[in-house]
A and B are shown apart, each in its own frame.
Chain A
Amino acid sequence: MSLFNSACLRLPIGLLLVGLLVPAILALAAPQFIDVFEGLPHWLSSWIYLALSWLAVRLTCKQLLESSLPADECPNGPAGLQAHTRTAELLIMGTALLSLSWGSGPEYIEEAMLFVSMRLGITLLLLGGMVLVFTHIKMRGLQE
């Protein structure tokens, strides 16, 4: 459970809570704006997608920083690695934000699931590619 108490995961979990709680609070505080809820599947799927991709990016960066090659094997040391992972985090989250505008928004729960899965799939593939490229560079460095 210590993983979910980790400081680096507070922001993505906070983002998820904001996305889920705002419609509920709006429904209780201002029921006259009921028309707003026509776009609820789109709203929820966008926030869930952003929170999940940020969570994945942060967990991957945390894993990369914690379980990377021993420090004496890395030419740049932990500072260089941290800079690379932060750059990758920014690039991937930028792509995630851009991908929200692709196509039309979902209207039903099935469409919302497909909306989230396609975008999250692309984000995870990008992240996986980043990890494998990083591993490849480190392995090439050890080669004869």
Chain B
Amino acid sequence: MLNLAIYCFYLAISLLITIHIGKLLNQNGVIFLTNQLVGNKPLALAINNLLLIGYYLINIGYILLVLNLGTSAMANGELNGQLYFLTRNLGLVTLMLGAMHMILLYVLANWKPDVQVTEEQ
């Protein structure tokens, strides 16, 4: 039963980190995208929203998949194994978040859209 509690703790911490970073990226990304799109804010918001959905799905999927790694270390029920499981899996999740962030930044920095400013803006 302790293993189940560790799984829930891991899921809670990973989801909290993912949601917090997603909110931060969403807030700052829209400014960056509006600049790239020469002030076309509706388009920037739409792309930002799509990127956020993709970010959440990929990261939550990865978090759930990583839950299955390192479970053999917890078979003995010792605290060492549970600590090993938590640190390794949380580390993998934060590395994945960092990698996703860097990839998105790289793609957006090299993206040169051909848009014109509409009259209402």
Which A residues lie at the B interface, using CB under 8 A?
Answer: 56, 60, 63-64, 67-70, 73, 109-110, 113-114, 117-118, 120-129, 131-132, 134-135, 138-139, 142-144
Contacts and interface: CB of A to CB of B under 8 A. Distances in A.
A139 B111 contact: yes
Contact of B42 (A70, A124, A143): A70
Interface of B: 3-4, 7, 42-43, 46-47, 49-51, 53-68, 71, 111-115
Residues of A contacting B: mostly? helix
Contact of A134 (B50, B60, B114): B50
A36 B57 CA distance: 36
A120 B111 contact: no
A123 B61 contact: yes
B8 to A, nearest CB: 9
A144 B60 CA distance: 33
Contact of A128 (B43, B58, B66, B111): B58
Contacts of A67: 46, 49-50, 53
Given A114-B67, A114-B68, A138-B47, A124 B61 contact: yes
14 contacts: A56-B57, A63-B53, A67-B50, A67-B53, A69-B46, A110-B7, A121-B60, A124-B60, A125-B61, A132-B51, A135-B47, A139-B47, A142-B114, A143-B113
A62 to B, nearest CB: 10
Contacts of B4: 109-110, 113
A144 B115 CA distance: 9
Contacts of B62: 121, 125
B53 A121 contact: no
Contacts of A121: 60-68
Nearest to B111: A139
Contacts of B3: 110
A51 B73 CA distance: 31
A29 B59 CA distance: 43
A61 B65 CA distance: 22
B106 to A, nearest CB: 13
Given A114-B71, A142-B113, A143-B113, A127 B61 contact: yes
A129 B7 CA distance: 25
B70 to A, nearest CB: 11
A128 B7 contact: no
Contacts of B64: 117-118, 120-121, 124
